[in-house]
Each structure stands twice: as structure tokens, then as C-alpha cells.
A and B are shown apart, each in its own frame.
Chain A
Amino acid sequence: MGAGETVEKNPGAVADTGGETAAVEAGLDALESPPRAAGRLPLGRVLREKALPPLAAAVLILLLWQGACAAHLKPDYLLPSPADVWRALSDQWYEGTLLSTVWNSVRRGALGFAVAVGLGTALGLLLSAMRTLRVAIGPVLSGLQSLPSVAWVPAAIVWFGLTDATLYAVVLLGAVPSVANGLLSGVDQVPPLYVRAGRTLGATGVSGVRHVLLPAALPGFLAGLKQGWAFSWRSLMAAELIASSPELGLGLGQLLESARSYQDMALVLASIAEILTVGVAVDLLLFAPVERRVLRSRGLAGARR
């Protein structure tokens, strides 16, 4: 056996070809890297492709609505025209009640949601860590998720009276299960490989949860948060509709209920528009960008919308 051959196959002996290796490697890297995505799309194109279609749809709906009013399909007091609804909105604005009403509801919704996120996350983590607890409570939690939280309103009124506590209780019962379940399903979908990789790096116990499990579960958790917000907002509206009293202060649900009792259809539609606007705005301004960022940074599909 020649000495040369032995050196050839020895791992330590290839160091002298390092320069050549580096050059080949650099070439491979350049060839295999996907070209950087071209920067941001021009604003005009974004407007044309993203903003124009929903705007056109809205205009079309308004036109159909206006057409139905002009044709007198229903009497005015049942089907107010877009202009009537607009007038109801601007009356509210000039009376100075529009912002305060919306703010009352948004504040309750946001506070309730924030508490629900805290409780739901803690509950989700607890259940994911303790198998038997999960077997015991998991089905109840899923069941709660499909129970319309308006069903809790009568009970909450009996327990807490016509107070803020009633509203928050209903919001929490609606949102906590969604948040907890979102975290659970996010954790369930974490590839075991990441957990094992984390353990070999020394991320065990709490630091494993913090550095590996939670970030890995984030996409599923975000979906749970989004749903949790939707449930918070819906539950709050249901509670406000039923529980209205002067002490509670005027929220959107109470506005809707009082408009109904005065048979003011224009105001009814105006309040519905306000409720809808808040829901869409939170989704569009808060959740959509966060979700897009998270998915895009992980190279997951769905980043394009």
C-alpha cells in the first residue's frame, strides 16, 4: 500500500485543496441560492391589485342597495337608503356620541381579549404539558368553543347583575377556549425534530418551551388568537345587546338595541356597519400584517394574499 494513497483518503490530508474547495463551494452557493425576491411592488400596482377589487365590490353593493330603495321594494322605514344611513352616522358624529360609543365597545373588547390571551395561553400550556389533564378537559374545551357564548348571557346577568363583570365574563367564556385550543393545536403541529434539536442544544424544560416550543407553535397560536378576537367581539356584542342599562354606558350593542326599540332602521344599519368596521379593521390592521410577517419569514405558503 502506497503512502500516497493513504494520505489521499485521510480526512486530515485534504486541507491543501482548501482554496479549490472554497472556490467550488462559492460557485455552488451562488448557483443554488434562489435569486432575491425583487423588492416591494410599486404602489400603483398594489392599489390596482389589492385595493381596487374590494372597493369595486363595495360600490356595487351600494348601487344595488340604492337601486332597491329607488324602486320602492320596501317602505322607507323598513329599508332606509344608503343616504339615510349616512345621515344617521353623521348625526351621531355631530352629537359627539359616535367615537365614544365605538370606543366603549372597543375598550371592553380589547381588555377582555387581552385577559383571554393571558388565561388561554396559560391554560393551553398547562394542558399541553399534562396529558391526563388534557384528556380530562380537552373535550370540554372544544365543546365550549362550539357553544355560542350568547348562551352564557342570562347566567352571567344572574351572577353579576347588569355590570361590566357580566360583559367580561361572557367575553372570556367565548375567547379563552379558542386561544387555548389554538395554542394546543399549534404545539401539536410542532415537528418533533425541532424539539429534539432543541434538547441537544440544551433547551430543555422552561427554556425549551421558550426558545423552541412557543416560537415553533406560533403560526397555529396566531390562528387561535385571531379566532379568539373574533369570538371576543361577537360575544361582547351579544352581551351588550341583552345587557343594557344606564350604568353600563353606551356600547355598540346597546346602541343597536336602542335603535331597534325606537324603530330607527337607519340607526340599526349604521350600528351594524360600525360593528362590522371594527371587526374588519382589527383583522386588517392588526392580525393580517403579523400573520403575513410570521409566515413569510418562515418561507411558508400563504404569505401571498
Chain B
Amino acid sequence: MSETVLRVPSGAPVRPVPAPPAGRPAVRLTRVSKWFGTAGRQTVLEDVSLTVRRGEFLCVLGASGCGKSTLLNLVAGLDRPSAGDIDVSGGRRPALMFQEHALFPWLTAGRNIELALRLRGVPRRERREEALRLLELVRLKGAYGKRIHELSGGMRQRVALARALAQDGDVLLMDEPFAALDAITRDVLHEELARIWSERGLSVVFVTHNVREAVRLGRRVVLLSSRPGRIVGEWSAGDAPEAALTATITDALRKEIRRHGRR
């Protein structure tokens, strides 16, 4: 019932978006449900249908605990849906950036990236150069030999981004990757992410509980309700000016959260 109808991108100015190849969408979820526990089962996601187009930057917005991480884990293949289908195009597994950086502390920043390259099957002699190139992409060339604990929170997330990019998939899943950062660092990382997204033609699913962040980054924003998580709203970047859109979505989110207080 909550079948999401794709909106045609608004006719607003042409953006430097890599031409999305026609054909299969990057990710398609069909009536996906997820519940935990067998007895007295707790339904976390219910009947979620969602399509991510190639080259699209989609933000999934929802209150804390509504099932955003669960959703991404399903798409990443770390967990199986209880019902419904998930179809990821491109064959390669989607890259996933976690809420915490999840870099391996026993490797240097550069080696973390090289491990991702190695697991992807990149030959040994090409790895170092490729790792340096990726570090340069997140403007951290000097961090190659640094240990993870020697980097600041923002730098760690950039290395994590570089490692995710090393997987060279079409799809990048991001689970509130900047939630733990201060406002200035987050601002800078938003710009970096936007630049890399448009340079690389990635399809991004970005999960957040921050409306401003969602509106700022997303070409499309979907709102997930809580308990169970369903898609209850959808907006396109072109629908309204940023401020108005933020206000509208904030309203919808608050209404959604208030609903639970009344029970």
C-alpha cells in the first residue's frame, strides 16, 4: 500500500549530475518487511517499497530507532528481509559507511583502503597508488601512514569514505556517517561528499535523523515512520526552496513522532 511513486525530477536548472544510464534502477526494494524475534515478533520495517535511481542521492529520514540502520543492513546484505525482495544492480556489493567509522585499528589509514582493494581483487602493485589516489580524493593524502587513533573524527570518516569508495561499487550506503561530528566539520564533509558524488556518478542512500542534512544533500527525501517503519512521505529537492522544504519536512516528522506520544 505504501508503494512509492517516483517523481519526475523537477525542471529546475541543469545540475552537474552524471547522466544516469537508462535501465535498471540502482536499488529496488519491493514490499520489504523485517521483524525480529519469533514469539511476540517486533516488526521494525513494514512493506517498504523504494527505488533508488542510478546516480541519485536519496536521503532516508526518520526518528531515532525507526529502523534506518536495519534498512541499510538489508540493502547491504548483512541481514535478510523477513519478507519482500531487494534487488541491487551492478553485481558488486554495495559499500556501507557506518554510524561509527569502523576502520580497522590494526592497520594504517592507507592499509585500510588497500585491504578493501585487495578484497576487490586489485593486484598488489596497483593498490598503493590507488589508495593514495582515493586519499587524495578525500584530501587526506598525508594520512596514508597514520594510525586510525591518530586521526580526528572528521578525518576518520573521510578515510572511511575513501575505503567505501575503494570497493568501486555503484551504490554507496551511508548510515548517519556525520552524526558524531561538530557542525563545522559536518558542513565541510557535506561539501566533500556532494563533490565526490557528482564526480563519481554514485547512487547514494544517505540515512539521517537530521532534516536539515537530508534537505541539504538529498535530491529526494523519504520519511520513515516508527514502529513499524513505513514510508510516509516523499519530497524532491526541486519541490520548494530549501528553507520551506526543511520546514515542511520537519513538520511531517514532528507529526509522526507526536503520534506515538498519544498512545
Contact = CB atoms under 8 A, between A and B. Distances in A.
Interface of A: 1-3, 5-15, 17-18, 21-22, 24-26, 28-29, 32-34, 193-194, 196-197, 199-203, 207, 211-212, 215-216, 218, 294, 297-299
B237 interface: yes
Contact of A199 (B10, B78, B103): B78
Contacts of A193: 98, 100, 102
A202 B106 contact: no
A304 B96 CA distance: 35
Contacts of A15: 16, 194-195, 198
Interface of B: 10, 12-13, 15-17, 57, 76-78, 93-96, 98, 100, 102-107, 115-116, 119-120, 139-140, 147-155, 163, 167, 184-185, 188, 190-195, 197-198, 215-219, 237-238, 240-242, 245
Contacts of A294: 106
Given A193-B98, A297-B147, A6 B191 contact: no
Given A1-B240, A32-B154, A34-B150, A11 B194 contact: yes
A113 to B, nearest CB: 24
A13 B242 contact: no
A287 to B, nearest CB: 18
Contacts of A197: 96, 98, 102-104
A33 B152 contact: yes
A103 to B, nearest CB: 35
Given A6-B13, A201-B116, A218 B194 contact: no
Contacts of A6: 10, 12-13, 237-238, 241
A299 B194 contact: no
Contact of B119 (A10, A12, A18, A211): A211
Contacts of B106: 215-216, 218, 294, 297-298
Given A6-B241, A9-B237, A12-B16, A18 B93 contact: no
Given A14-B195, A33-B155, A193-B102, A299 B185 contact: no
Nearest to B167: A201
Contact of B15 (A13, A18, A32, A298): A13
B193 A11 contact: yes
Given A28-B154, A201-B115, A201-B116, A1 B241 contact: yes
A256 to B, nearest CB: 42
A223 B57 CA distance: 47
Contacts of A25: 139, 188, 192
A28 B152 contact: yes
A26 B191 CA distance: 14
A141 B93 CA distance: 40
Given A21-B188, A200-B78, A298 B147 contact: yes
Contacts of A196: 78, 98, 102
A28 B186 CA distance: 11
A299 B148 contact: yes
A202 B102 contact: no
A12 B13 CA distance: 11
A3 B185 contact: no
Nearest to B57: A11
A298 B120 CA distance: 25
B240 A33 contact: no
Nearest to A31: B152
Given A13-B15, A14-B191, A26-B139, A202 B197 contact: no
Contacts of A9: 215-216, 237, 241-242, 245
17 contacts: A1-B238, A1-B241, A5-B241, A6-B241, A11-B57, A11-B198, A11-B216, A12-B15, A14-B191, A21-B192, A28-B154, A29-B154, A193-B102, A199-B78, A200-B78, A200-B95, A203-B115
Nearest to B18: A12
A215 B105 CA distance: 9
A203 B195 CA distance: 29
A34 B156 CA distance: 13
A101 B172 CA distance: 63
Contacts of A207: 119
A294 B147 CA distance: 12
A5 B242 contact: yes
Contact of B237 (A10, A22, A24, A298): A10
Nearest to A211: B115
A199 B94 CA distance: 11
Q: Which of B77, B94, B149, B190 is most buried by chain A, counting CB atoms within 10 A of its CB? A: B149
Given A28-B152, A193-B98, A10 B219 contact: yes
Contacts of A13: 15-16, 194
B12 A28 contact: no
A211 B240 CA distance: 48
Contacts of A211: 115, 119
Q: Which of B76, B120, B153, B195 is most buried by chain A, counting CB atoms within 10 A of its CB? A: B195
Nearest to B94: A200
A298 B105 contact: yes
A11 B77 CA distance: 27
A8 B76 CA distance: 31
Contacts of B219: 10-11
